Structure 1
Amino acid sequence: MGRSFLGIYRRPLTIGLYALIAALLLQFIRQKSHKKSIKLSEKKLIIFLMILIFVIYNFIKGKFYLNSYYSNIGETFGLFLLICTASFLANNRMSDLRKYLHILSSSFLLLGIIHSLFLLIEKLGYNTRFWIGEGMMIMPLVFYYFLFHYLFDRQKELKYLIYAFLALLPILLSFEKAIVVPLILSFSLIIIISLYNYLSSKNKDISNIKKTIKRIGALLIVFVFFVSLYYFVFPDDFETYRKIILVSYLKVSPETLDPIGRVDGGRYYIWQTALRLLLEKPIFGYGFGVSILSDLGDYIFPHNILLDILLSFGIVGTLIFVLLIARLIKYMNIFPIHVDYQLENKTILAYLLFIFCFAVIGVIWNKILAIYTLALFLGMLLKIGYLNNNQVLYNKTEI
């Protein structure tokens, strides 16, 4: 296992990080010499070479497999996201936003379909070894991307609805609480925000609302169809899902509905302990990377990003962090997104809500793909705000 001075413990990711730094330095030199930005062909070549280096490295080490937490899927797309971030920030154009989102969503849609097929094959009694690992953290992004295309795209193409359900399928089949709960929370927040925006709008367009309601109705019909089809093929699975919801999600007995075991895996105990520790050093905190002694005797993260930030940086550091977030939100609100990029903007904001909901109930720091995707999206939002403030966002030759 390779180590770098930045603490990255996997060599492919270290190489990718160096490539990110090199790309930014290259753009800095070009800006100083008043040369053009990096061409799209150059970006594609860099991405191809980085993935090729990764594949060769893993073949030499004999680690090219798909069914591990440290799988080549996570590392390869981690490199892709690093290069996307560098190349996107390295020019004054917006067209790459759509290209990168489409490539990322389409790639993981394909992986999600393959993942779902292998899960269904397993249910038929065959042993398979395909698992997308950290890629499950990207499936909500794929779901939102195609769902918003179906709901808000002028072309009204039914294929986007099918793609959205295909992206949702591996999430439902795997039924991981760490993915399902944040997805439900973020989806609920999106509905609340949408209703608030509509009710607070002075010019309410009834025709658009009717169109959206019709599309949501079609969405529900397709959902019921898929659920009915699944129940027809795998009738015993519904009892399994019922027990998972009661035992894993609600922590109650399937027979008596009485509380069982440790409530929510001990999170409440961890959060209570974190609050007591916070009272001991409330001003500046304990420093980054605080771990808490759980009721099982091991040290774990608080499993809540809000408590994690408070324990790490105290009230002072948290206020600075909140000011930074407020600045980002101001950027997100003050610049008018061009109509051609409304769908991409909704997708970015929806995934940011998902990541926030995930981070409130879990640990985000070890999710490499999610962190790199988050870095790419925050870079996109900051760049949009910067270009808008400098009045270069809506260059007609670019858009």
Structure 2
Amino acid sequence: MLQLDLNKIEIKVFTWVVFITLSLPSIKLIYSSPLLNAALIGIFAFFMLHFYTVSPVKLSKVQKVFLTLFLSFISFIFISYFIFPYSHYSLDKYVKYFFVFIAVIVTATFVEKVDIRLLVNLLIAWGIVLCIWKLTIGIRLNFDKGQTYLTYGMPIGCSLMLLLTQVFKKLSWKEVVFYGGLILLNIFVILTSRGRSSIIFPFLTFGIVIITALFFGNNKKPAVKVMVFGTILLLIVGSYVLANLESFKSLARVIALVESGGEDDRLNLWVPAIEQILINPFGHGTDAYHYLLIHYPHNIILEITLSFGIVGLLLLMGMLAVFGNRFVKNLDKNFHYVAVSAVGIYFFLSWNTSHDLATSTIPFVGLSLSLKQ
């Protein structure tokens, strides 16, 4: 009995650690310090030793494939410092890459220790807390510490996306009204914020899940239900928002982007990166953009190809292929498996356009959650 209780505590604590990792930038709105990253590295190291010695697990085939690809990828990052001429040396980046390494290795290896029901509820609840925080006392950002509208917009978007995926559950009318109210709260806060990605990616992720379920899932009812009710809701909400567009900063920026034909500043960042990739498709070195480009390309896929060439890109595509396979299989399981797969998609899409590889702990941990059997 005591052993069973300790195992439950172990699972709950590890799940909270994964949640804190996924929510770390927004948690730093409360207290921002490099010590938080150092503490998480120490906690992951502890769990690695604890799980290996006290409660070892037998890896599934898909875990072995994912871990092999990831270890090859992360090893390439560190080896590239010594074999490529344009690698950018930085102690800060070493520590960040080590954080990516240990967090993903531990999560992917011991993903069965994650209580996905608790994790999904925590991610939803944290997004709601941030919504209330912003609407009441307001969220103050510390730009000197790299905080932007995405610091709170991304977790709120994650909460919105997970609320939308509730369609994969059997809900009573009371639950429909309750979740509908929370969805509207999330949408309102996001639309009155500045970011475009915070409103685009929750719905894009949800759309990917629905379309994939329609074509590959055995249970097509949620997809059909969303297509019918979603169209009606879109017409109602869309009409109101367009009538009050000046109040909704995020949507105004999205519409401005569409009207300009997609000619955004990002294109000016991507073209130089692509040109450098074509010059040397085998890679220039870890964080080579510091030397070869004026600005970071704001695209992890381009950064990986620029730094590690075709080999790095193939390793990334391999990991995404493993994730895609697990995502499709999870569609036929219960809601929480669908939800954690959606978390992986959402964070990868969001991170790919806004942050660099050295800070990619969140998307890779998100992808590894889909490995849970």
| TMscore range, shorter length | 0.5 to 0.7
Superposed CA deviations along residues 332-377 of structure 1, whole A, max 9, x for unmatched, are 44xx5497x52222222323333333344333447x6xx4443443
Tell me which residue corresponds to 1:327.
322
- Give the C-alpha shift of residue 20 in structure 1: 1.1
Matching of residue 115 in structure 1 with residue 134 in structure 2: yes
**AA at the equivalent of 1:317:** G
What amino acid maps onto 2:307 in structure 1?
S
> Residues 47-66 of structure 1: matches in 2 within 5 Å?
none
Count how many residue pairs are aligned between Structure 1 and Structure 2: 289
Q: Distance in 1 between matches of 2:355 and 2:226?
A: 35
Which is richer in helix?
2
Structure 2 residue corresponding to 1:342, chosen from 334, 350, 353 = 334
Task: Tell me which of 355, 367, 370 is aligned to 1:378.
Answer: 367
| Residue type of the alignment partner of 2:134 | H
Flag structure 2 segments of 5+ consecutive residues without an equivalent.
1-32, 58-98, 142-148
| CA–CA distance in structure 2, aligned partners of residues 325 and 209 of structure 1 | 23
SS at match of 1:174: coil
Residue 62 of structure 1 is matched in structure 2 by none
Report the equivalent of 1:308: 303
- 1:137 is matched with which residue? 154
TM-score after normalising by structure 1: 0.59
Does structure 1 retain, via aligned residues, the 8 Å contact 2:120–2:340?
Answer: no
1:40-119 correspondence runs (5 A): 90=110, 92=112, 96-118=115-137
Q: 2:313 aligns with which of 305, 312, 318?
A: 318
Superposition pairs of residues 223-302 of structure 1, within 5 angstroms:
223=237, 228=240, 237-238=246-247, 244-245=253-254, 247=256, 249-250=257-258, 252=260, 263-265=263-265, 267-283=266-282, 285-291=283-289, 299-302=294-297
Residues in 2 aligned to 1:275 and 1:89: alpha-carbon distance in whole angstroms: 35
Residue matched to 2:345: 353
1:20 counterpart residue number? 44
Q: Indicate the residue corresponding to 1:216 in structure 2.
A: 230
Choose from 176, 181, 191 the match for 1:162: 181
| CA distance 1:165–1:83, shift in 2 (3 Å) | farther
Query: 1:311 offset after TM fit, Å?
Result: 0.7
**Cα deviation, residue 231, structure 1:** 8.7
Structure 2: how far apart are the matches of 1:86 and 1:152?
Answer: 29
Distance 1:349 1:358 in 2: 14
Q: What is the CA deviation profile of residues 264-301 of structure 1, one whole-angstrom value per residue up to 9, with x for unaligned ones?
A: 12x22322212221122112x0112131689xxx7211
* CA distance in structure 2 between the aligned counterparts of 1:116 and 1:378, rounded to whole angstroms: 31
Unaligned runs of 5+ residues in structure 1 are 1-8, 35-78, 119-127, 253-258, 385-399
Q: Which residue of 1 aligns with 2:81?
A: none
Rounded to whole Å, the distance in 1 between the matches of 2:289 and 2:210 is: 35
TM-score with structure 2 length normalisation? 0.62
Residue 189 of structure 1, aligned match among 187, 208, 222: 208
The 2-side partners of 1:324 and 1:216 are apart by 32
Counterparts of 1:210 and 1:137, CA distance in 2: 28
Higher radius of gyration, 1 or 2: 1
Aligned CA distance change for structure 1 residues 217 and 241 (closer, same or farther; 3 Å): closer
1:363 aligns to what SS in structure 2? coil
Q: Check 1:239–1:383 CA distance in 2 against 1; reply closer, same or farther (3 A cut).
A: closer
**Partner AA of 2:264 in structure 1:** D
Q: 1:163-222 CA deviation, whole Å, 9 max, x = no partner?
A: 222222221110412423434543443444344337xx6xx86x7666545643674477
CA distance in 1, matches of 2:124, 2:252: 32
Q: Using a 3 Å threshold, how does the CA distance of structure 1 residues 101 and 300 change in structure 2: closer, same or farther? A: same
Root mean square deviation, CA, Å: 4.2
Are 1:11 and 2:11 counterparts? no
